[in-house]
Amino acid sequence: MDTPRGCLLGWVAYAVTAVVSAVGENKLLPISDSACKVINGHTGYVRDNSSWIIGRVVRDFEGWMDNGEQNGPIRTRLGEMIERRWEDDKKKAEHNVPGSGKDIPKPAQAGLCVSVYKAGEARPGYPGYDLVYYIGFVTAIVQLGIAAIPCSLFGDWAIFLVTVCGISLSFLTGGLSQWTKEKWACRRNSKKTVILTRGNGSQHAIVIIGDGKGLDLEDLAVGPTNLQVSASNTTRVAVIILAIFWVLLLITAAGIKENTWFLLAIGGIGILQNIYVAGRMRFPKAFGVPLHFERVIMELKVMETLFAVEQVYPCIA
């Protein structure tokens, strides 16, 4: 199989995978690819996260924690504590073996950094309009522009037709209501305080105060596995029909014998866009979970940090 057909084969494989998930597992959305813990701030109950949204919020935390600023309060405090720990390590080394302090490497982390946020007005199903959102439309326009070249130069409309059909099927697949149902499977207007962390030894713990506005993140952590959000028969039928159309599109593309490098360029741009979107850091607002920074609490020792948090926010630490 040549490379242009290989690009389309990837699209078909995705459609078939969606059919298997919808019919066999009653779900469309995959389990989170970033492991983390969700802790109820009042009861202390710990849950393993299965929410794709929470997983991405925790995965990208170091990118958005200071609103993307390099000199924000969290990064500043973290830098101060790492420097203090480094100085302490060097002093201990000098005390044991004089002159060895200069050989102590700078530590990568120090203690526990607790960042406190208040939840803003949640917008489930209405993510923020950031660069990742708009780049999908830009990519589609560029692909259509490339597909129009052989049509205008050589009168070959086959590639343009395949591209239009592929983009349409992509938008139809992404527009299934089941995605929204599974991504935001939780109660709204929560007053819960929830802690997000990667677990023991993690540098960061994120405290999110519901404040009667946010999503119930404890619900959201187990929402995708809840039977109440299982794929309906309508969703299963829609996914099967879309998969059939994807297969037909692949068969049609396989019959194209001329100007296939345009098809390769179109598929390559789509693959690059997918890679960019998958790895791009996004702010919580882009997932319908706006968060407003309150304060950062961090001391040199983990226990000291927990005591400091307990003083400000009783029953959380």
Domain ranges of the chain: 3-61+111-312
The pLDDT value recorded for residue 49 is 92
The pLDDT value recorded for residue 4 is 46
- The pLDDT tens digits of the residues spanning 107-154 come to 888 889 999 999 998 877 777 788 998 999 999 999 999 999 998 888
The pLDDT value recorded for residue 186 is 87
For residues 309 and 87, is the Cβ–Cβ distance under 8 A? no
Cα–Cα dist 168/151, whole Å: 19
CA angle (225, 51, 129) in 5-degree steps = 130
Residues β-bridged to residue 39: 46, 195
- The pLDDT tens digits of the residues spanning 21-72 come to 655 556 777 778 788 999 998 888 999 998 989 999 999 999 999 987 888 9
The pLDDT value recorded for residue 128 is 72
What's the pLDDT band for 6 if we cut at 50, 70, 90? very low
For residues 183 and 257, is the Cβ–Cβ distance under 8 A? no
C-alpha closest to that of 120 among 316, 313, 282, 286: 286
* CA dihedral angle for residue 14, residue 180, residue 38, residue 23, rounded to 10 degrees: -50
DSSP codes of every residue in 128-148: ---HHHHHHHHHHHHHHHHHH
Question: Which are the contacts of 2, defined by CB distance < 8 A and separation ≥ 6?
Answer: 260
* Strand duo 291-299 + 37-40: pairing: unpaired
